[in-house]
Amino acid sequence: MRRALDGLIDALPSQCAVCSRWPARRLCADCCARWATATPRCQLCAIAVPAGVKVCGACLRGPAPLSICLAAVDYAYPWHRVIADFKFRGDTGLARSLAALMLQSPQACEQLARCDALVPMPLSPQRLCERGFHQTLLLARALARQQPVQILAAAAERRHTGTPQHDLARAQRLRHLRSAFAVAPDQRSRIEGRRLLLLDDVMTTGASLHALAQCLRRAGAAEVGALVLARTPL
């Protein structure tokens, strides 16, 4: 039923969120071809790297909390605008097209097929109340409709830390992040020994993804990788 409805919605004419052309898909094929070209990225942090390079210098020097990290696009024009429409202006109808964009990125289908479950970046109850929807869960559901995968939406809880992350000094932010995620005892059996793929909309420094990965590893996850929609370029 849901699939039939999705097919019907997809067939309806719409306006492209990038070029405003009508009728088109929410993200038209021309815009995806123009603005979402495959870029060589570091396998561990998804930062753009020169062709032929697999792991960036920073990841070679430091410990890599993620086993793999994939990003569909850079967090730059026009995607920062489209993501703001989705995340902050409540245009949740974009989830399906954004999920399709993620599936087009190299290795995304392969990693989804390989993982045991997808873990959308948790939202604190306060943030959920303010926003009214959980954007990474919507992305996870849209992905799972296009490529079946189990979603563990309650694998970890995010505690509300009060001050927005960007208002804190780096050291303070890291301290906050270390205590930001927790695994409820009833979720452990779903995590232990499993290969998890975290899902986030925007990756900036990766600190939140790393903190979540460490929390899930401590709870017994065998492997934790990440798939993100957009990566902030250096």
Q: Which residues here bind Zn ion, judged by CB under 5 A?
A: 16, 18-19, 28, 31, 42, 44-45, 56, 59
220: helix, strand or coil: coil
- Residue with smaller CB distance to Zn ion, 31 or 224: 31
C-alpha span between 218 and 211 (Å, rounded) = 11
- Residue with smaller CB distance to Zn ion, 31 or 118: 31
- Residue with smaller CB distance to Zn ion, 62 or 90: 62
- Residue with smaller CB distance to Zn ion, 149 or 202: 202
Closest approach, Cβ 127 to Zn ion, in A, equals: 28
Closest approach, Cβ 138 to Zn ion, in A, equals: 21
Closest approach, Cβ 31 to Zn ion, in A, equals: 3
According to DSSP, the β-strands at 223-231 and 69-74 are parallel
Residue 89 burial (C-beta neighbours within 10 Å; 0-12, 13-18, 19+): exposed
Closest approach, Cβ 59 to Zn ion, in A, equals: 3
The maximal CA–CA distance of the chain, rounded, in angstroms, is 50
Number of C-beta neighbours around residue 92 at 10 A: 16
168: helix, strand or coil: coil
